[in-house]
Amino acid sequence: MSQQQEIVDQEEITMDQTSQQNNDADSRKYLFVPYAEKDLAKAAGACWDNTAKAWYVGPEADIRTLQRWLPENVSRQQEPAISPEIEFADLLRSHGCVVDDNHPLMDGSKHRIKVIGDKPGEKSGFYVAHLDGHPAGYFKNNRSGLETRWKAKGYSLTDEQKAALVTNAAIKQQGRKGELHEQQLNVAEAIKELLAIAPLANSEHPYLLDKNARPGDLRIVPENADALPTDSMIKIGKDWKEAKALREENPGSIVLTAGDLLLPAEDINGQIWTVQTIQPGGAKFFVTGSKKESNFYVVDSEYRGLAALDNVKAIVIAEGYATADTLSQALSYPVVAAFDSGNLPKVAQVLQNKYLQKPIVIAGDDDLTQESINGKNPGKEKAMEAAQLVNGAVVLPIFAPGEQMSQQLSDFNDLANNSVLGIEAVKRQVGSVIEKVCQQVKHGSSLKLQVSIEPKQQEIKQKRALVR
């Protein structure tokens, strides 16, 4: 056999292996498999998608045996008088929801949906619905406060009907994922073009002045979109009124307001997917249709991006930019901004996967004022969750007695700028935790999750801090 023929044969083998390995969530062929027939399908090579709750053709499947369960080969069963999907969709409409082809998703997961009166980009409706057993669900309109629980009217689905509904939902969801990913790629490309022409921010931006934060390498939205490609999806209003009009006229476009800060969000590979815009008054928004989850921004005085974390002894993660910048100033150390509490666990996990040997410290917010109102402290709760996922440590700001509630303080930026303790307290409180976890790693002991300080201990520490 010639060397050229060997190369061709090897390429064919490689292509065949790649084809088999490409049976991922975006290319799966789903099946209608009633519960009673699941063992037969499994024996023929069908695999279970635990997220979609449906069977699909596995990589080693006997496709001839599985033919009977392919959607195009399954005869339609007698439908109930009204399907659960239609019934729940009617309920959503009756409660002011804008129901399109994507809703409702009866997969047991949480979903947001637009309601009448929502502004562009808003989704004030929330629902969860499932098809298991007796189809049921829950809905709340956060705009009106109305909520309701729903059960399908008096019937349970047969195994065949349930399999058909679940599989159709999985197929729809698969298509939506593909469409969403394509949209996210288009948005990322538009953001890349925007950042290339956006001017650098300066320290006189009202938000940065208010927070005593450095502009770093942040950009601001330019005065107009003239320097962008003519077919760009980005449009720029000179003020909020013009931006509002542009959104109404161009519902499929990204509309920004001149002068807002642009905070890029990158993934673990350094690719920028979106930007968080910050208005002079502090209101923050992400670009509609973009990808925020698991992405972050590294605050670093040398503007090295993700590379700034290569030589740190511990990775410090905070919520917003101003808090991360305060920590970076106090510690003379790069700090990661995860943007909000909900993104803390995701960011902590992707950074741990990249930097396996580095301990992680979550510098969380302590939303005590919110907790006193509704019993929820998302900053503290998500910080603890993130630390637990990566076996890391949590540090929350400790204020002087009486300050936190009276001034509604919550984060390390507040501690630096609005507390009598000042930025030295930030350095002392966070720096001591970093030193502790690094010593634990150095001596080979496993990290112990730092728990919140009991009220009496917290008061003692506050008093000690005041007299230092």
How many CB atoms sit inside 10 A of residue 380's CB?
21
Return the pLDDT at 21. Answer: 40
DSSP 452: P
CB contact at 8 A, 434 and 320: no
CA distance 127 to 119: 19
**Hey, is 217 helix, strand or coil?**
coil
pLDDT tens for 255-307 read 999 999 999 999 999 999 999 999 999 999 999 889 999 999 999 999 999 99
pTM of this prediction?
Answer: 0.70
Q: What's phi and psi for 254, nearest 5 deg?
A: -90, 115
CA distance 295 to 204: 27
- pLDDT > 50? residue 465: no
Return the pLDDT at 65. Answer: 87
Of 52, 53, 126, 72, residue with least CA distance to 95? 126
CA distance 338 to 294: 8
CA distance 170 to 33: 13
Least confident of 14-28, 132-146, 253-267, 316-330: 14-28
Return the pLDDT at 105. Answer: 87
CB contact at 8 A, 323 and 411: yes
Tokens representing 195 are 């950042």
DSSP 74: S
With residue 277 as reference, give the H or E element that holds it: strand 272-278
pLDDT tens for 52-86 read 778 899 999 888 888 888 887 765 544 445 678 88
CB contact at 8 A, 328 and 335: yes
Question: Rounded mean pLDDT of 337-356?
Answer: 96
Print burial letters for 292-330: b (CB count within 10 Å at least 16), e (below 16).
bebbbbbbbeeeebbebbeebebbbbbbbbbbbbbbbbb
Question: What does DSSP say about strands 315-318 and 360-363: parallel, antiparallel, or unpaired?
Answer: parallel
Quote the radius of gyration of the chain (alpha carbons, Å): 26
Question: Rounded mean pLDDT of 131-154?
Answer: 82
In terms of residues, how long is the chain?
468
Residue spans of alpha helices (H) in 153-205: 159-197
C-alpha to C-alpha distances, 32 to 62, 71, 163, 174, nearest whole angstrom: 16, 6, 5, 15
Return the pLDDT at 5. Answer: 44
Return the pLDDT at 378. Answer: 92
- pLDDT > 70? residue 140: yes
CA distance 316 to 333: 9
CA count, 13 A, side-chain hemisphere, 93? 10
Return the pLDDT at 258. Answer: 97
Question: Rounded mean pLDDT of 308-325?
Answer: 96
**Per-residue pLDDT band at 446 (split at 50, 70, 90):** low
- pLDDT > 60? residue 326: yes
Q: Can you say how many angstroms the Cα of residue 91 is from the centroid of all Cα atoms in its chain?
A: 28
Question: Rounded mean pLDDT of 215-241?
Answer: 95
Tokens representing 146 are 């109305």
Sign of CA dihedral 5, 6, 10, 13: positive
Question: Rounded mean pLDDT of 93-103?
Answer: 85
Beta-carbon contacts of 98 under 8 Å, excluding residues fewer than 6 positions away, are: 113, 114, 115, 116, 118
Q: What's phi and psi for 51, nearest 5 deg?
A: -75, -50
CA count, 13 A, side-chain hemisphere, 249? 11
Return the pLDDT at 382. Answer: 95
Tokens representing 222 are 């330019």
CA distance 299 to 17: 42
- pLDDT > 80? residue 349: yes
CB contact at 8 A, 426 and 327: yes
Cα three-residue angle 192-252-282, rounded to 5 degrees = 65
**Per-residue pLDDT band at 158 (split at 50, 70, 90):** low
- pLDDT > 60? residue 374: yes
Question: What does DSSP say about strands 297-299 and 335-337: parallel, antiparallel, or unpaired?
Answer: antiparallel
Question: Rounded mean pLDDT of 130-141?
Answer: 84
